[in-house]
Structure formats: structure tokens, C-alpha cells
């Protein structure tokens, strides 16, 4: 009798370990990176990519939006998004020193407020950051796209003396201009 109980407990434990392993190996929001490296400027972003999966992404909380207008969003999933600059830059026209920052947003219907926060190492994740550690806040206009971007994606596009960082998900693109100071 004891042998059957131990075998049963062992099988349950094994099933649990396999389930956890599967979740860690195949997350619904996989880790991703985006990088730009040109002319001595290196920008690197580490984030996770949530998927739309038929959900309302941006909108009013009452409408069931995954990311309601006016609410903190860590620009991805799972863990805070981090961005690193190799040189002093301007971020949408505002000066930022070289270094690593947490990046988050507060979405709105017409613009997103994008912030860089020096609280790197602080695990604010899904929790709101310590706003007193914000280095810069910028309001960026939203561009509505006719097609849907299924997974949240961050890309870089060279433009003139700098680069544009595009944040795209669902039918929304937010373009942040970055130039070397």
C-alpha cells in the first residue's frame, strides 16, 4: 500500500516538474531583443513579446482592454523592459546619459507617455515603478496601422543622424526618435 502511495506521489511530482519545464521552455510571451549599432552608438533593448491572441489590447478598461488607457505598462510581458545606450543621447528630444534604464509606458488613445527609469535591478515588473527614479518622460503620438501586429515588437530604423525606435502591437505604432548628443 505504501509503495503505491509513493509511486502516485512520484508521478504527480514528475508531472508537475514536466509542466513547469514546459512553461519555462515555451513561454506564451518569449524573451526578445532589439539592437541598433552604427556610428559608435549602440542601443540594446531586452523585453518579452506578448501576443494579441484575439484580445482587445489598448482601450478603455470597461471594454476589457488588456492594457487600459492611462495605466502603467512595462512595454512587454513577464519582466521589465530594459534599454541600454552606449553614448549620451536625446530621447524624443530630451537628453539622456549613457547607461541602462527600465522603459515603460502609459498608453493613451492618441499618444503614449514613454518613460526611462533608473531603477534597474529593482524588480518592479508588473508593479508600478518608483516614479521618483524617472529620468525622462516623453509624449509620443500614436500611429494607427491598417494591419494587425500579432506580437509586440520593438524595432530600430535608421533615419538621418539618428534612429527611430518603433514600438508596435495590434494596430498601434509609437515611434521614438533617438539621436546622439
> How is 17-73 classified by DSSP, letter by letter?
HHHHHHHHHS-SS-EEEEEEEETTEEEEEEEE--B-TT---EE-GGGT-SEETTS-B
Residue 4 lies in a domain: no
Residue 5 lies in a domain: no
pLDDT band of 127, cuts 50, 70, 90: confident
Would you state the cell numbers that stand for residue 63, as one nine-digit string? 471594454
pLDDT at 8: 78
Q: What is the mean pLDDT of the chain?
A: 89
Answer for the pair 164, 157: CB distance below 8 angstroms, yes or no: yes
pLDDT at 19: 58
pLDDT at 1: 76
pLDDT at 171: 96
pLDDT band of 26, cuts 50, 70, 90: low
Total number of domains in the chain: 1
pLDDT at 4: 78
Q: Output 29 or 133, whichever has higher pLDDT.
A: 133
* Bridge partners, residue 81, by sequence: 103
pLDDT in tens, 61-112: 999 999 999 999 999 888 899 999 999 999 999 999 999 999 999 999 999 9
Residue 9 lies in a domain: no
Q: Within 13 Å and on the Cβ side, how many CA atoms surround 6? A: 3
* Bridge partners, residue 163, by sequence: 158, 178
Distance of alpha carbon 71 from alpha carbon 107, whole angstroms: 7
What is the 3-class SS of 96-157, one letter each residue? ECCEEEEEEEEECCCEEEEEEECCCCCCCCCCCCCHHHEEEEEEEEEEEEEEEEEEEEEEEE
Average pLDDT over residues 162-175: 97
Q: Output 6 or 59, whichever has higher pLDDT.
A: 59
Residue 94 lies in a domain: yes
pLDDT at 21: 52
Domain region containing 56 = 28-180
User: Is the pLDDT score of 129 beyond 80?
Assistant: yes
Residue 88 lies in a domain: yes
Residue 21 lies in a domain: no
pLDDT band of 31, cuts 50, 70, 90: very high
Residue 7 lies in a domain: no
* pTM of the shown model: 0.82
Residue 1 lies in a domain: no
Amino acid at each position: 500500500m505504501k509503495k503505491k502511495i509513493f509511486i502516485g506521489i512520484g508521478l504527480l511530482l514528475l508531472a508537475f516538474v514536466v509542466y513547469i519545464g514546459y512553461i519555462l521552455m515555451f513561454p506564451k510571451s518569449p524573451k526578445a531583443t532589439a539592437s541598433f549599432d552604427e556610428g559608435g552608438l549602440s542601443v540594446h533593448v531586452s523585453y518579452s513579446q506578448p501576443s494579441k491572441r484575439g484580445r482587445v489590447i489598448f482601450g478603455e478598461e470597461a471594454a476589457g482592454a488588456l492594457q487600459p488607457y492611462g495605466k502603467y505598462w512595462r512595454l512587454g510581458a513577464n519582466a521589465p523592459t530594459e534599454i541600454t545606450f552606449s553614448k549620451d543621447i536625446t530621447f524624443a528630444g530630451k537628453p539622456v546619459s549613457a547607461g541602462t534604464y527600465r522603459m515603460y509606458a502609459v498608453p493613451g488613445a492618441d499618444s503614449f507617455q514613454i518613460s526611462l527609469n533608473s531603477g534597474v535591478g529593482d524588480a518592479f515588473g508588473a508593479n508600478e515603478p518608483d516614479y521618483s527614479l524617472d529620468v525622462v518622460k516623453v509624449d509620443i503620438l500614436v500611429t494607427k496601422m491598417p494591419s494587425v501586429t500579432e506580437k509586440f515588437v520593438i524595432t530600430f530604423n535608421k533615419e538621418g543622424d539618428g534612429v527611430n525606435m518603433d514600438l508596435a502591437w495590434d494596430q498601434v505604432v509609437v515611434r521614438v526618435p533617438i539621436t546622439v548628443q
